């Protein structure tokens, strides 16, 4: 890990800078974070998390099937929209080596797409799920195809995702509500279908604003598929969420609602549909 990269990080617990210490990073207060595996461990996933190994595998390989193998418009629309907004933001900032954070990166599909648009960028993928990060590391950083069979979903033949061989991707296991990054360094932050999964969506937006430099771009997509009554009250519709985004320090450049994101479920092509809000903004 380069000194430049360590300089971007900070202790998520006490906010102090980090230094290398054997196979770990440590702050002056002796908070120690392992970095000798495929991702830096700043936080741990809860035992009850639904984002376990089986879920991560299913998610990654149905992505490969729906998005890469079958080229089905049923499942591509969200990711193509995100790609177009990333291309716009990069063209506007005209910077050869942008720092791009993907909060809730999952198995890495938005990073895989964005890395084609910004090949010399520095990518930081953040997720809480160790299972998803392990797959993301194999897919994004590895060079070999990653294969699985999902007979329980009707796929007897192996599904394959090509390894991208990206050396400019660092993955961190961390909470989107307490990012392990210094203030005002990132040029672009992606948050693709994360917001309605976190405990405190407003705090996630404030953290996103904190780590973006002024003028940095936010590309946010989320179904408003909240998990708590209080969240349904706070963010009942697109307008309500947009004003929270603005109050957190962003100017909204464009937005559209009700983009149908279809999550592929099985070999027959069954899908689950989410009405998704898409927002592109700049840190004011």
Ligand X SMILES: C[S@@+](CC[C@H](N)C(=O)[O-])C[C@H]1O[C@@H](n2cnc3c(N)ncnc32)[C@H](O)[C@@H]1O
Which residues 91-110 are close enough to bind Zn ion by CB under 5 A? none
The answer to whether 106 contacts ligand X (rule: CB under 6 A) is yes
**Using CB distances below 5 to 8 A depending on partner kind, what does residue 127 bind out of ligand X, Zn ion, none?**
ligand X
Minimum distance from residue 114 beta carbon to ligand X (Å): 11
How far apart CA 170 and CA 137 sit, in angstroms, is 9
x/- mask, Zn ion, residues 31-70, rule CB under 5 A, reads x---------------------------------------
Restricted to residues 128-147, the positions that interact with ligand X (CB under 6 A) are 128-129, 132
Does residue 164 touch ligand X according to CB under 6 A? no
Q: In what order do the strands lie in the sheet with 32-34?
A: 19-21, 24-26, 32-34
| Binding residue (CB under 6 A) for ligand X from 85, 124, 177, 271 | 177
Name the phi and psi angles at 100, rounded to 5: -120, 125
Give me 157's structure tokens. Answer: 């033949």
Pair 115, 90: CB distance under 8 Å: no
Tell the smallest beta-carbon distance from residue 19 to ligand X (Å).
25
Q: Shortest approach of Zn ion to residue 174 CB, angstroms?
A: 13
Q: Which is nearer to Zn ion, 14 or 116 (CB)?
A: 14
Question: Which residue in 81, 193, 231, 280 binds ligand X (CB under 6 A)?
Answer: 193
CA torsion 97-98-102-106 (nearest 10°) is: -10
Residue 14 near which of Zn ion, ligand X, none (CB within 5-8 Å, type-dependent): Zn ion
Strands 169-173, 186-192: pairing kind: unpaired
d(CA 245, CA 250): 6
DSSP notation for 191-253: EES-GGGSS-HHHHHHHHHHHEEEEEEEEEEEE---SSHHHHHH--SHHHHHHHHHHTTEEEE
Look at residue 135 and give the partner it binds from Zn ion, ligand X, none, a contact being a CB closer than 5 to 8 Å depending on partner kind. none
Binding partner of 31, given Zn ion, ligand X, none, CB within 5-8 angstroms per partner class: Zn ion
Selection from ligand X, Zn ion, none that 146 binds (CB < 5 to 8 A by kind) is none
What residue has token string 């004003």? 243
Closest listed residue to residue 139, CA positions, set 221, 67, 228, 41: 67
- Choices 92-100, 137-145, 163-171, 194-202; region in contact with ligand X by CB under 6 A: 194-202
Residues that bind Zn ion (CB under 5 A): 11, 13-14, 27, 29, 31
């Amino acid at each position: 890990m380069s000194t430049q990269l360590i300089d971007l990080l900070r202790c998520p617990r006490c906010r102090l800078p980090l230094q290398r210490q054997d196979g770990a990073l440590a702050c002056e207060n002796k908070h120690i974070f392992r970095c000798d595996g495929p991702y830096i461990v700043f936080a741990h996933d809860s035992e009850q998390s639904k984002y376990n190994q089986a879920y991560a595998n299913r998610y990654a390989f149905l992505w490969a099937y729906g998005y890469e193998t079958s080229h089905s418009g049923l499942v591509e629309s969200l990711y193509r929209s995100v790609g177009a907004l990333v291309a716009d933001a990069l063209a506007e900032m005209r910077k050869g080596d942008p720092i791009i954070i993907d909060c809730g990166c999952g198995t890495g599909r938005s990073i895989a797409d964005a890395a084609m648009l910004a090949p010399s960028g520095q990518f930081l993928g953040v997720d809480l799920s160790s299972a998803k990060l392990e797959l993301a590391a194999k897919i994004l950083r590895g060079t070999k195809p990653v294969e699985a069979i999902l007979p329980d979903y009707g796929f007897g033949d192996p599904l394959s995702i090509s390894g991208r061989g990206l050396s400019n991707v660092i993955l961190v296991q961390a909470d989107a509500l307490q990012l392990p990054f210094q203030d005002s360094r990132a040029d672009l932050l992606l948050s693709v279908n994360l917001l309605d999964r976190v405990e405190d969506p407003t705090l996630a937006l404030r953290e996103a604003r904190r780590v973006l430099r002024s003028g940095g771009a936010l590309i946010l997509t989320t179904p408003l598929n909240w998990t708590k009554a209080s969240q349904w009250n706070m963010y009942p519709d697109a307008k309500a969420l947009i004003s929270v985004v603005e109050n957190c320090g962003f100017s909204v450049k464009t937005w559209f609602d009700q983009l149908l994101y279809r999550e592929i479920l099985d070999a027959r092509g069954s899908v689950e549909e989410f009405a998704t809000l898409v927002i592109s903004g700049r840190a004011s």
